[in-house]
Each structure stands twice: as structure tokens, then as C-alpha cells.
Amino acid sequence: ETGVTQTPRHLVMGMTNKKSLKCEQHLGHNAMYWYKQSAKKPLELMFVYNFKEQTENNSVPSRFSPECPNSSHLFLHLHTLQPEDSALYLCASSRLNGGGAGDTQYFGPGTRLTVL
């Protein structure tokens, strides 16, 4: 199993709820990522943090709010989501953002989110 953990594994929420997804990596990596995986679609990069600093916001709606308190932890705060936001949310980490060839991203198991 990978050194990236995510909680919760499943989440059902209403459109008016506020919830948070948590990710933790035990690999000593410096970069962490949030991806959205929808059925029959490629992975969509949402946010990137490198050394706790956000270096990418891939035009993600403000109802998704990331937080990275340190290089090992990453959160995704959710509020006022829409049903089309239902998807598998994956966290990943890598040794060094921008490390070039060989900077492999390792994924967590994901949080299956359902928005009612």
C-alpha cells in the first residue's frame, strides 16, 4: 500500500454542508496535489503545493478551498458543492515539484464524494 493516506474514504454531503477531506503522506515528499477523477475522464489536476506554498490553482471553483499546513498534510475544504462535484478526489505527493523526469507522483486511495 502507498505511503499516502486519505480520510474519509467515502463522503455523502448535501449542497449546503461543509466538510473537509484530509490527506497525509509518509514519504518525506515536498509536493502534494489534489486531483479530481470523474467516470470515464482523465485525472484533472486541481491544486498543487510545494513546500507548503500553493503553486497551482487549475481554475478550480472557490467552493473548493485547499489548505496545506505542512509538507505532510493537505486538506480540501468543501462548501456549497453541486451534484456535478461528485467524484473520486485523489491526493498525491512527489519528492520535488518541478523535479523533472523521474519525479513520480504517488497517490492515496481517494475519497469517494457524493453530493446530493
- In the complex, the residues that contact another protein under the rule CB under 8 A are 2, 4, 6, 31, 33, 40-43, 45, 48, 56, 90, 94, 97-110
Nearest distance, CB of residue 62 and another protein, angstroms: 22
Nearer to another protein, 16 or 59 (CB): 59
User: How far apart, in whole angstroms, are the C-alpha atoms of residue 103 and residue 65?
Assistant: 26
Nearer to another protein, 71 or 80 (CB): 71
Q: CB of 111 within 8 A of CB of 19?
A: no
Nearest distance, CB of residue 59 and another protein, angstroms: 13
Amino acid at 96: L
Nearest CA-CA partner of 91 in 29, 1, 21: 21
Nearer to another protein, 11 or 105 (CB): 105
